[in-house]
Structure 1
């Protein structure tokens, strides 16, 4: 990353801390290829440097970080390990969304901030099997009903990133009262009786995110743990700035692939050549194309993040944030492909990180909003 993207001394100091962890993350990344894995050490390292509370307001010992800050830090974390970046990115973006939500009851918001201040982790857990992306508005199968002690929740959620490490979850559920149905959000402590993890996550991409299913069986939470009564698509739309951590993750993975390929090209001299393969015309063309794609991705992503931070009416930028997600995630696919073409067949070795980068960046296609949703949104934005 070019240094001019770092604009403040505060950013420089945090980037220095994050970058000190990158080699450690890269050394551990192969361990996450196993089923049931999770980067506990990496997450603890981020907690130890104070990273996980940066999204909190300053009164809670946070830094009130902006969308631009988030993109900057998350890209560098992802260069070390994509699973770690995407996992902690959801925690960070959840806190940013909470910070901007006026609907959160103050007492409940204060409660969560105090827990995060002392190392707690939180994430939205919204997806349900067979229902498609939560942004598409399918009818929720998880149900909440009034109980003597508050609310009783029963259901099942899927793709719960960071499932084994979460302390709190914000879940969506259908509330049935007086013959009417409405969607609502609830704060659920992970250690509540009736909460269990079904370890079904076997994805070859970003396996270390441990995005298992979470089962809620007659889980009782206090009445004041009702967060808001609104739809999932509407809530996701209002939290757009924090969601930039998703393309930032795949940009970081692509950067790692580029750096590996460049180092290989600069130092590998086959027996039929007198100098490293970097000097071959077709290799320089591929390196140049990677540089072009990285520049396009980075300038678009950081520009949109900066504009988001500076606008009061942030919803007008939603199509542009979606366009940034589309562009960066698809460019990341091309970047890793080109990096593999630079290094050749060895990139498919199980011991080679490029094969991991290749599968990991493909996960970006399936993080909401999906490509077809984005293109439809962009088309509708002009009428």
Structure 2
């Protein structure tokens, strides 16, 4: 399973090698819970305790507030490895990492508020996420106006509404809630602490990524003080367009595919069909499929890490990387699916068994297509850029 068993050309220095070694070991611990978490579809509290003890949640918080201040490249390394152990846990946990990467680049909050939130993560192990999607309106990135409403009161706001696909809902506190500020007609970003006015409804029951805890959060006239309004945003995307998110998603689903690749290679070396007197690894059509898997994996990892490197080394170019990052998300998620499909073909009928680990990878990797931005948004955006940009 471990990438560090063989030379990984994407490890460039001792700091990266140390992170890789550490989170390879963490991934092995996560894997020991992954099958049970998937079968039960319950939130993996034990796995998140492992991540908390490993210091995962403070990796991207700023160093001045006690964090590790990992780069995008370093988080890509970590998340790919964690996803090899448990893709659902890596996906869920990765949202917080991505959140702090984004806020480090363009913080819209008051510094004292951001500092307090960071210190809560480092000192108390707080876990948080942004909750924007709703059942009726869908994702605000497609231009919908939230039905979650923040009504002004004498000393603050009362927030009411429901958020769906609320990843980390069972464990997140504080919550970052996107709500429509009624008296101003703008989108607001609010910091909300859990209370008896915040109810988590267990609604997450999917074919893949079953233990992300992406349940429904119901807010019943939750009072927050005026300072809980962190930022206001206007425009179609709500001011939340952050390119680093796309690589985080790609790294997780590539990690799932990487796990499938490693598993099937070991399987092919030791599996002997009844009609053969040699392992199936020596059969030409099996080698053809594994060779195709290697092409997809190698090109995807090269694309992933080259863009992460460019993001870190050339901050002044980040506004020009949108198309590259979206194309990478599209390409890598599709190639990840292709890798797992080929692994299933190598396995044959046994790959369909619920007792065979590959079946979980096959279901999990399909979920990359549902992650924002969806394929149609990426394709349309790239087409318009090619056709109409000067």
Q: Which TM-score tier does this pair reach, normalised by the shorter chain?
A: over 0.9
Distance 2:347 2:196 in 1: 51
Moved more, 12-21 or 29-38: 29-38
Structure 2 residue 110 is matched with structure 1 residue 105: yes
Mapped contact 1:192–1:220 kept (Cα < 8 A) = no
Q: Is 2:138 the counterpart of 1:143?
A: no
Q: After TM superposition, give the deviation of residue 236 of structure 1 in Å.
A: 2.8
Residue 292 (structure 2) pairs with residue 289 (structure 1): yes
Among 82, 103, 111, the alignment partner of 1:77 is 82
Match of 1:230 in 2: 233
1:279 matched to which residue of 2?
282
- Alignment root-mean-square deviation, CA: 1.4
Match of 1:65 in 2: 70
State the shift of 1:148 in Å: 2.9
Map residues 171-320 of structure 1 onto 2, 5 A cutoff.
171-177=177-183, 180-189=184-193, 191-231=194-234, 233-237=237-241, 239-309=242-312, 310-320=314-324
Kept in 2: contact 1:183–1:230 (CA 8 A): yes
The Cα shift of 1:168 comes to 1.5
Separation in structure 1 between the aligned mates of residue 117 and residue 92 of structure 2, nearest angstrom: 18
Contact 1:92-1:242 at 8 Å conserved across structures: no
Q: Which residue of structure 2 lines up, in the alignment, with residue 122 of structure 1?
A: 128
How many residues matched? 379
Cα shift at 1:36: 4.9
Q: Tell me which stretches of 4 or more aligned residues in structure 1 moved more than 6 Å.
A: none
Q: Which of 51, 60, 65 is matched with 1:46 structurally?
A: 51
Deviations, residues 91-113 of structure 1 (Å, cap 9, x unaligned): 10011112122321112101101
Q: Deviations over 1:103-135 (max 9, x none)?
A: 211121011011011210011111001223331
TM-score normalized with structure 1 length: 0.96
Do the aligned residues in 2 keep the contact of 1:149 with 1:220 (CA within 8 Å)? no
SS in 2 for 1:377: helix
Provide the C-alpha distance between the structure 1 equivalents of 2:380 and 2:29, rounded to a whole number of angstroms: 41
Shift of 1:17: 1.2
TM-score (norm 2): 0.94
- Flag structure 2 segments of 5+ consecutive residues without an equivalent: none
Structure-2 residue corresponding to 1:350: 354
Q: What is the distance in 2 between the residues matched to 1:25 and 1:152? A: 39
Query: Gaps (5+ residues) in structure 1?
Result: none
